[in-house]
Structure 1
Amino acid sequence: MSTTLPPREVLAHLVDVHCHPTEELNISDEVMRALPIRLCSMSSNFDDQDKVEDLYNGYPDKVIPCFGFHPWFYHEISLVEPVPSKEDHYRSLFLQPGSAKEGELDRLVPLLREPVALSKVIQIVKEKLLKYPNAMVGEVGLDKSFRIAYNPYPAPPPRKLSPFSTPLSHQMVILEAQLRLAVELKRNVSLHSVGAQQPTVELLQRMSQNYGKDWLRISVDMHSCGLSADVWKTKAHANIFLSLSTAINSRSDKHRQLIRECDEHRLLAESDYPEAGMCASQTWSMVETIADIRQWPVETEWDEKEPDPGNWGVVRRLERNWAQFCKGDHPEIVHKSRRLRKQHEHYPSDESTEEDE
């Protein structure tokens, strides 16, 4: 598969829907000005909310800012107010009574941040979102595989891992608080899910039930999606999109089946890369993969006169999908069984009786 980028006139219609350029120590002005695509720059923790804001303010035509807290940092957030001491917070979070891991925790706690109240976290995100009407919520999510490191981020890898993971129940409270904010402010979401397929599916069902049409006003992107192809076959949620990255998803062939099964109108592409200068080539790599699997043409030039939709290339299709993602306001999916039931209620059979009704 070719690694040569198409002309800038083609790339100008492409969006990297999930990346982390602020993880670079020094983002080159030359690189940012030369970027041929737009980037959805994700926040993750207490250190990078302002960095994403600054990157957007420096390059508003290149960056879509995204504010939120990633599950790798949920252990730093207290669900209790007033916030307990640092030691009490991490003991209650990581240790069961009589645990044999007390020594490990004693070693870890001095390396960790002082905990911050969830209400403060939501306040931080809300202030950023209100300041920037085009901002998304992200990166947020669930991660059952992640373990806290003894040399925690932003220390460079390799990182020595502790035996401690943030309980899923703790993660869920923080994630749902951020999703409530997204619904309240009508902001789209970039969602992380690793090792948590069933809890994620149940979460999406719960959000749909709890918020109804308000939930459908926003779009949610399952970034570097690891959910099974069977989940996408159900087409249960009209507002859920799927994006894939070569950096993460190409580690297994499962992503190819995901691309085949996903509704073509809900596919997006991303780099998930921490270097701005690599985002275009990494995103284009996934664009080529999508085109190959779906047998869509790949644009080598851009015709401003829109062709027949049946002849659209992969970039034009992804551009359409991104526009719908940004727009939100998705229609409710009415499943066949509900349609039949509604038809039966509207057109009762001749055999119906008052007792049946």
Structure 2
Amino acid sequence: MGGNTHEEPFPWHLGVYDAHCHPTDTMSALPSISSMKTRVLTVMATRSQDQELVASIAETHGIKSPKLEQWSREECIVPCFGWHPWFAHQMYVTTEGAGDEKEQEKGILEGEAKVEHYRKIFKRETIKDEDRRTFLALPNPAPFSAFLAQTRTYLEKYPLALIGEIGLDRGIRIPEPEGPTNFRQGDENMTPGSREGKKLTAFKPDPQHQKLIFKMQMQLAAEMGRAVSIHGVQAHGMLFDAVKELFEGHEKKVLSKKERKKLAQEHNPDPSHEEEGRNENGNSNQRRPPYPPRICLHSYSGDFSNLSRYLQPSVPIDIFVSFSTAINLSDALESDTPQNFIDLIKKIPDQCLLVESDLHVAGEDMDRRMEDIVRRICTIRGWGLDEGVRILGENWRTFVFGHEGSIR
């Protein structure tokens, strides 16, 4: 036990895992992935332009087994497919709901249908001429049912893939349409569709529309038994409520001390952890619960009061919380680590902690940031570096693969 200093060698050989990043946003840096010190990157998709890119690097670098001793050096990413709330306005959902054939037959919205979609999404009673021009210049909205069908196909093709990045963001404003006046220097190296460096409009998408798209993806994760990486900004209460709506009625039974003692004496498993989907003979009937098995609140920005709602013993989902220097610490020096961050990290259970870079480019900077956040977490928790890297690595494997990936 104990803290660490930057003079102490960093134990990369024990396996360091980035729980959330976006290297496909800068394709020119992708060749560096297999030579990075960080052992595995959990690579997020967010919008139409990067779903296929994530799939393409999974072909070359995707992990093929939850057993790390079977990994080749080229196996160094876990692909994740999802539609980010920043781009929720680009999708439409009919009143009939996702998967409806009529929605897919309706296809891409153009012209007045497109303007009407954006009027509703941005909650405008009337539309000014400049609004209409902006709406027509934004991407043509697509049926969300088609995206879900594509995501299902990817999840079937890549059995270890996750869903992400998805979530809710009340603070988001839509960027101006791309063009000569809204295309920053250096964008030629970035995958199209990124918000990075773009001027923003006053338009904010309806949170309820974001929530609908979020829950549909959570339901797909539940159906496929996959973990989820979740974005939440200025919407912590709404986000928890959306998750709770999925598991409500399926809470774990919280046992009294007397009941736990009796079970321990009888050597029986805790019934609060019994897997759903068993028939009366105890055999699997392939029915999954209506909530994902595991979620990670990525670069969590709320306080412990909000987080504690997820950590109640009755919540049937395995909860993980990841942190990055880029988002949570705004690249502050280690000596300037905010006290509220220190206090939060101290309160989170060991088995829930993950680390991430949340960077848009692979390579040395990603490794540097991963080392930085690991060192800070270890210092705050009083872990030695070897101990902390092992704990964080075990947590990542459990988050991604479930308990079959655990080596505890």
Note whether the superposition's TM-score is higher than 0.5. Answer: yes
TM-score normalised by structure 2 residue count: 0.71
Are 1:319 and 2:398 counterparts? Answer: no
One-letter identity of the residue aligned with 1:191: I
Q: Indicate if the aligned counterparts of 1:271 and 1:279 stay in contact, CA closer than 8 A.
A: yes
- The CA deviation at 1:125 is 0.9
Q: Which residue number in structure 1 is paired with residue 173 of structure 2? A: 147
Q: Which residue number in structure 2 is paired with residue 40 of structure 1? A: 42
The higher-RCO structure (CA 8 Å, 6+ apart) is 2
RMSD: 2.3
- The CA deviation at 1:211 is 5.6
TM-score normalised by structure 1 residue count: 0.81
Q: Indicate if the aligned counterparts of 1:193 and 1:200 stay in contact, CA closer than 8 A.
A: yes
- Counterpart selection for 2:326 from 230, 235, 247: 247
- Counterpart selection for 1:67 from 81, 95, 104: 81
- Counterpart selection for 1:276 from 362, 367, 380: 362
Distance 1:141 1:86 in 2: 24
Distance 1:79 1:261 in 2: 40
Are 1:186 and 2:225 counterparts? Answer: yes
Q: Secondary structure at the match of 2:248?
A: helix
- The CA deviation at 1:6 is 2.1
Q: Percent identity?
A: 29
- The CA deviation at 1:246 is 0.4
* Per-residue deviation, residues 107-139 of structure 1 (Å, max 9, x unmatched): 322331111111111111111111100000000
Distance 1:91 1:33 in 2: 45
Distance 1:136 1:95 in 2: 32
* Per-residue deviation, residues 88-114 of structure 1 (Å, max 9, x unmatched): 211222243246xx2442232233111
* Per-residue deviation, residues 120-164 of structure 1 (Å, max 9, x unmatched): 111111111111000000000000011001145636743211111
Q: 1:291 to 1:173 in 2, by over 3 A?
A: same
Q: Indicate if the aligned counterparts of 1:3 and 1:281 stay in contact, CA closer than 8 A.
A: no
Q: Indicate if the aligned counterparts of 1:265 and 1:321 stay in contact, CA closer than 8 A.
A: yes
- The CA deviation at 1:279 is 2.2
Q: Secondary structure at the match of 1:27?
A: helix
Q: Which moved more, 1:248-257 or 1:317-326?
A: 248-257
* Per-residue deviation, residues 51-77 of structure 1 (Å, max 9, x unmatched): 001112122211100001000110000
One-letter identity of the residue aligned with 1:275: V
Are 1:201 and 2:240 counterparts? Answer: yes
Q: Indicate if the aligned counterparts of 2:11 and 2:385 stay in contact, CA closer than 8 A.
A: no
Distance 2:250 2:27 in 1: 40
Q: Which residue number in structure 1 is paired with residue 379 of structure 2? A: 292
Q: Secondary structure at the match of 1:16?
A: strand
Distance 2:194 2:226 in 1: 31
Q: Indicate if the aligned counterparts of 1:35 and 1:62 stay in contact, CA closer than 8 A.
A: no
Q: Secondary structure at the match of 1:191?
A: strand
Q: Secondary structure at the match of 1:240?
A: strand
- The CA deviation at 1:166 is 0.8
- The CA deviation at 1:227 is 2.1
Are 1:225 and 2:312 counterparts? Answer: no
Q: Secondary structure at the match of 1:224?
A: coil
Q: Secondary structure at the match of 2:28?
A: coil
- Counterpart selection for 2:125 from 94, 97, 118: 97
Distance 1:109 1:98 in 2: 13
Unaligned runs of 5+ in 2: 63-74, 95-102, 179-191, 252-275, 277-288, 331-337
Distance 2:358 2:229 in 1: 11
Q: Secondary structure at the match of 1:26?
A: helix
Q: Indicate if the aligned counterparts of 1:221 and 1:241 stay in contact, CA closer than 8 A.
A: yes
One-letter identity of the residue aligned with 2:377: I
Distance 2:247 2:170 in 1: 23
Are 1:174 and 2:202 counterparts? Answer: no
Q: Secondary structure at the match of 2:29?
A: coil
Q: Which moved more, 1:255-264 or 1:15-24?
A: 255-264
Distance 1:217 1:167 in 2: 24
Q: Which residue number in structure 2 is paired with residue 6 of structure 1? A: 10
Q: 1:3 to 1:111 in 2, by over 3 A?
A: farther
Q: Which moved more, 1:151-160 or 1:286-295?
A: 151-160
One-letter identity of the residue aligned with 1:93: I
Q: 1:211 to 1:21 in 2, by over 3 A?
A: farther
- 5 Å-filtered alignment, 1:12-91, equals 13-29=15-31, 31-36=32-37, 37-60=39-62, 61-80=75-94, 81=103, 82=106, 84=109, 85-91=113-119
Q: Indicate if the aligned counterparts of 1:72 and 1:143 stay in contact, CA closer than 8 A.
A: yes
Q: 1:171 to 1:106 in 2, by over 3 A?
A: same
Q: Indicate if the aligned counterparts of 2:162 and 2:400 stay in contact, CA closer than 8 A.
A: no
Instruction: Report how many residues are paired.
Output: 312
Q: Which residue number in structure 1 is paired with residue 346 of structure 2? A: 260
Distance 2:232 2:30 in 1: 31
Unaligned runs of 5+ in 1: 300-312, 331-357
Q: Secondary structure at the match of 1:145?
A: coil
Q: Which residue number in structure 1 is paired with residue 261 of structure 2? A: none
One-letter identity of the residue aligned with 2:303: S
- The CA deviation at 1:231 is 2.6
- The CA deviation at 1:260 is 1.2
- The CA deviation at 1:253 is 4.8
